[in-house]
Amino acid sequence: MDAAKFIALANQLTQGLEARLGRLAELLDGSSWAEAAQGAHDIVSVAGNVGAMHLSALARNLERLCKNGGDPERRSASAALRNEAIEAMRALKGYQSAV
Amino acid sequence: MSEQKPEIDRRARTILGVDDSPEMQAILHAMITGAGYAFLGAQDASEALERIAAREPFSVILTDVQMPGMDGFELCRQIRKLPKGKKVPIIFLTVNNTTADVEKCKNAGGNAFIVKPFNSKTLVRHLDHWSQQSTAKPLGRALTPGSSRAREASATKAIP
């Protein structure tokens, strides 16, 4: 893949992931657990495929808890994911700036 | 490590990728065309069925499992009902790999599954293996002599 295509793909994935994280935060704030489970599910693969493996793992855990967990566990997992999302997005944008 | 030279002509083979996520579509497109295969995308099951009906059989079909509307398992069952879809290799792309999920893939008529997230090497290894099992004729190019199906088979993960 040439550099221009790679950068375009990286931009698309980063922006898409950021948008998904924003939507997921709204769903979690609204305690919409079923929809949040779907949102977290989608983030598992996208985050993993851009190399944000920890974020992907946290999203997988959050998806499971949104389906089967209790509220305290969900809130805790949600907070962990949000913190990691900030770090992951910072790293992804930093990487893009450096390319 | 440099990528192993392909033993098959990937350019003559078309892969259908079904996923509702635009990001996953972009990833599939980049990985698959980057390896030399032709790629067509479908955003949902109904679009996939339209694409299958409209052209020669695909070499391999990749499908997400969890999609709005018809899920990947039902899509697989529908494809198997089609004359063009009875033997086409179908690989599920799934974030879940529990025993129950594998059983669902098998019962739906799928050939293999790849756990998301995946890397290009894993995806292309599956495509190289399964496109050689496909009954779809490569478009105008023959297999390069010397390919070893036994070796390929050991490198991929079929549904038991």
What pLDDT shows up at residue B156?
Answer: 41
Domains and CATH numbers, chain B: 10-154 (3.40.50.2300)
The pLDDT tens digits for A9-30 are: 888 899 999 999 999 999 999 9
Does residue B146 come out as left (phi exceeding 0), alpha (psi in the -120 to 50 range) or beta? left
From B93, B20, B108, select the one nearest A38 (Cα to Cα): B20
pTM for this prediction? 0.81
What are the two backbone dihedrals, phi and then psi, of residue A79, each rounded to the nearest 5 degrees? -65, -40
Q: Do B117 and A48 touch (CB under 8 A)?
A: yes
Provide the β-strand partners of residue B141. none
User: Which of residues B7 and B77 earns the better pLDDT score?
Assistant: B77
Q: Do A16 and B22 touch (CB under 8 A)?
A: yes
- pLDDT above 50 (res B142): no
Size of interface A-B (CB pairs under 8 A): 46
Check if the beta carbon of residue B93 is closer than 8 Å to that of residue B64: yes
ipTM reported for the complex surpasses 0.90? no
Stretch (H or E) spanning A62 = helix A53-68
Under-50 pLDDT residues of chain A: none
User: Which of residues B154 and B107 earns the better pLDDT score?
Assistant: B107
